[in-house]
Amino acid sequence: MSAPTPPPDSISFPGFPDSTPTGAEPAPPRWPWRRWRSAWRRWSLWTVLVVLVVSMLITLVWLAGRYEAVQVQDRLERDAANAVADVRAALNRNLQDLQALSAQSSDPQEWRARAAEVLQVRREILRIEWRDSRVRLQSYAETPYRPMQWEEGLRDDSQSHAQLTCANARRLNGPAYSPSYFQLLNEGLGSEMMEVCLPLSHSGRVDGFIIATYSLQSILVNQVSKNLAHSQEVSFTEPDGTRLALVGAAWRGTRVFTAQQILDLPGNMLVLRLDHWHRAPSVFPNVLTALVTTMSIALGTVLVILVRDNRRRLRAERDLGEALAFRKAMEDSLITGLRARDLKGRISYVNPAFCDMVGFSSEELLGLNFAPYWPPELSEEYHQRQLKRLAGKAPPSREGYESVFMRKDGTRFPVLIFEAPLISAQGRHTGWMSAFLDISEQRRMEELSRASQERLQATARLATVGEMASLLSHELTQPLMTIASYATGSLNMLGQHDSASDNPATLRQQLQDLRTAMQRIAHQAERAGRVIKSVRDFVRRRDQSRELVHASELVDAVLPLVRMQARKLGVRVITQLDNDLPPVLCDPTMIEQVLLNLARNGTQAMDGMETHPRELTLRVRQTTTSAHASWLEFSVIDCGSGIDEAVSDQLFTPFFTTREEGMGLGLSLCRTVIEQHGGTLRHSANLPRGTVFSFTLPAPPQN
């Protein structure tokens, strides 16, 4: 037969990505450093592109904001220069008015009237004084808009601002301005003032002075504020930045622009400061910037889309690689053999477990449309079965069938085969997938389990025989001891018969005692037979013969034996039975043995003790009653040393005993007997000392 190469993409594994070519092993992963280098190169290019775009956008926005800030600052500088020019022009006009005032009149009254007219027009001037050549006050006029209280004595002081300013004006032979000073006003207010002194010359000789007092606040209000915008404020400051007067709105923005211009006056220098409160500069100061920014945003959006698409592609590649690695790891760890065939029966895929199972490599199996692992004697049968599979008559995928394969070395081994159709991602039927389980170990374990089961059954039978022997040896002790006691007593009476044969009355009494002893021996022998029968039924776990028995009959049956042993140990036996007790359904022989065993343990617990009283109490009472049944409680109460807590947990354990001659089976068998009757056996402390063993038996309801 030919072995053509299987067609690609014809196998699709359920639960695995369908990305490995059919019949080919998954490509080995590249070295980590190569993948790291490729990923680093790809991400570095994307990082550089993102950094360039972000840098361009940030630079563009910064330049646009910077441009607008420069425009705002330039405009503010121009406004400040215009404000200084307006103030300088106003001061010059005032000097002209003051010069005209002194030239037109020499009469103080007339001069005061003309000065009042000037003060009505020039509101920034608060006071005008006319002084002679010695700077003595001749006349003055005050503004009608803001009356003030001037201290004339201080103004005539040689160190006053007026005196110093006029001295400076005399030296300059022209108008001079004084430094600003603070003057208190009415109502606790104040204002920054400035003096200007204009010398009056006649024939080249100074014969008087005109002094005008300015309010810096009024200069700003009358000369500058009318041209201010709502977002601007203007102020006079000293060169060191100390603010002297301020005019402007209280409006604030997110950014402030400041322009400063020097107002240089003769004798004084002021700085006019103009502040402009402005919101954040607009990002789009012009159409070009808006267009470029829009294009940049569009480019950034495209870049984000590309990055997201690239991330999805990388994620898909990573998921695919992880899925392939996961699939390869699963294939390598499986102990189940997998084999795929196409629709023509050619082997297109085998996993390592299948190759290890049959002993052939994947290169030896791929492409074959026959199986070299078929046994020759079964190859025809398997070939017909394969034809049925290819014809679509495959068994359900959940139902497997057994077969026999042959390894490369010729050894046969059983396998369990499961087959299912292969469906591609497009929903096409492309072949068949088979799963193989080597059940050789399972067959071997089944044989071992069968042999172990047989050995276990034999061991169980032996254990039953041992249990029966142990139970018999324990239960027959009492009847045999009783028989031995009565036999010894009979022999003693026979020995006394020889010495008392001449006395008929004594002879008759001895014969009567001997007859009673023989009857007791026969009764105990019969009881031993019942014990053997009950123990045999108990070991066989059969239902014992149970009958209705009164509690008094059970107590009376064991009472002679109990009293016989109690008499030897000096123990007094007390019975306490309630009246009108209902009968119980039980095996009398087994219950008697339980009572006898518990009573014997109670008397032995008081052996060798000097306690008083030494009493053993057998008590029977009715405990609970219902509509269906009632319970009788049998109690054996001793006054011994009690049971230690360390012994209490193991008291009912088989072969556990605290006596050297004991076997450790008595209490264990007693509990088993009581539980087979449906009751419970338990123990508790008897205060002030001793132990109480109690068990319950069901009493059927009376009709």
Q: What is the 3-state secondary structure (H, E, C) of 517-542?
A: HHHHHHHHHHHHHHHHHHHHHHHCCC
DSSP state at residue 628: S
CATH architecture under which domain 334-438 falls: 2-Layer Sandwich (3.30)
Within 13 Å of residue 416, how many CA atoms lie on the same side as its CB? 13
Kindly report, residue by residue over 17-69, the tens digit of the pLDDT. 343 433 444 444 444 566 677 667 767 777 777 777 777 777 777 777 777 77
What pTM was estimated for this model as a whole?
0.39
> Which of 78, 76, 85, 122 minimizes the C-alpha distance to 222?
122
State the pLDDT confidence band at 695, using cuts at 50, 70 and 90: very high
Kindly report, residue by residue over 522-574, the tens digit of the pLDDT. 776 766 666 666 656 655 544 456 788 898 998 988 888 888 888 888 888 99
Mean pLDDT of the chain: 77
The pLDDT of residue 39 is 67
Q: What count of other Cβ atoms lies within 10 Å of the Cβ of residue 550?
A: 15
Going from N- to C-terminal start, the domains of the chain cover 69-278, 334-438, 447-542, 544-703
State the pLDDT confidence band at 241, using cuts at 50, 70 and 90: confident
The pLDDT of residue 105 is 61
The mean pLDDT of 396-411, rounded to a whole number, is: 78
Please report, rounded to a whole number, the percentage of residues in the chain having pLDDT higher than 90: 5
Identical fold for domains 334-438 and 544-703, yes or no, is no
- Domain 69-278 sits in CATH at 3.30.450.20
- Reading the block at residue 116, the tokens are 């009042």
Gap between the Cα atoms of 665 and 647, Å rounded: 15
- Fold (topology level) of 544-703: Heat Shock Protein 90 (3.30.565)
- Please, which residues have CB within 8 angstroms of residue 522's CB and are 6 or more apart in sequence? none
